[in-house]
Amino acid sequence: MALSDLQKLFVVSTATQMWQQDLLMNVYFQGSSVGANLREMILGQQPVKPLTNPFDEAITGRLRSDSAAIRQAGKNVQEASAMVGIAASAVGTIKSTLEEMLSLAQQVKDGDLAYSADVATQYNALRDKVTGIIESTQYNGISLLDDTRWGTDQIDADGNVFIQSFAQGANGGFDVTFQKLDATGLAALSGAALEDNPAGSLQTELDTLSVHIGDMTTLEEVYSQREDGLNYQATALDSQADLLDQAVEARRQTPVLSLEEILIRLLMRDTGTLLDETS
């Protein structure tokens, strides 16, 4: 069957188009630099090189260094806040335990609870809980309440922990001071005193408990306020670092974009994003 002129034209056009496509493929994907770049971009056989401007890196170097130093200082201050927060929590637990001991002793004094060996044992168990908290409250190996474990490279004999928070200055930071607790005095509390023998020993025990509870209340408040202040300082340092990062970008003459980022931005420009950035 003979082909019509229209069918002949279709065959010739199709063959010509396929020949042209084959020619272009051979030119672009075999030996040319364009083909090499396309293969590198699409197949990813070679590491993609970021499009950086050495001049930009030079003029922003100091800003980037300052930003990194301030951000690290913020992390250090945040860590100091965590240390003080642990101390505050421990002191609060000690206070509530002492209040339990006071309630128990007061019940014996008021006659609501008869003294017995079991009552004394319960009282002593609460006391041992207090001394255990003092001995075990630590942060990264630093004892925060037990002064018998002070005088190390991390905390000095006076309870000071140095926090590196300034890039410049004479010391480059500040001390966070922890208060020692009278572990010996707390350990001297005894359930035997609840028997009130000799007379007056129970009242003495009650008075001693009241003094300790008052001390814990004051110390807990001091630690809580210090924790809040350190949190604020850490947040302020992070804000300074963010401003420096913005200044770095403002001083750049060309953006620091990798080839992948450029392609993604072109793709998102065509397909749309989750956020409406046009308004």
| Tokens 């990798």 found at | 258
Per-residue pLDDT band for 245 (boundaries 50, 70, 90) equals confident
pTM of the model: 0.69
Q: Count CB-CB contacts under 10 A for residue 94.
A: 25
**In whole angstroms, what is the distance from residue 91 CA to residue 97 CA?**
10
Assigned token pair, 264: 């993604």
**In whole angstroms, what is the distance from residue 94 CA to residue 193 CA?**
20
- Burial letters 191-212, b for 16+ CB under 10 A, else e: bebbbbeeeeebeebbebbeeb
Q: Which helix (H) or strand (E) holds 176?
A: strand 173-177
The predicted pLDDT at position 167 comes to 58
**In whole angstroms, what is the distance from residue 278 CA to residue 47 CA?**
34
The predicted pLDDT at position 272 comes to 47
The predicted pLDDT at position 12 comes to 76
Q: Write down all domains in the chain, each with its CATH number in brackets.
A: 58-251 (1.20.1330.10)
Q: What is the pLDDT of residues 123-161, one digit of tens each?
A: 999 999 999 999 999 999 999 999 999 999 999 999 999
The residue type found at 266 is: L
The predicted pLDDT at position 61 comes to 74
DSSP secondary structure code for residue 141 in this structure: T
Burial of 129 (0-12, 13-18, 19+ CB in 10 A): middle
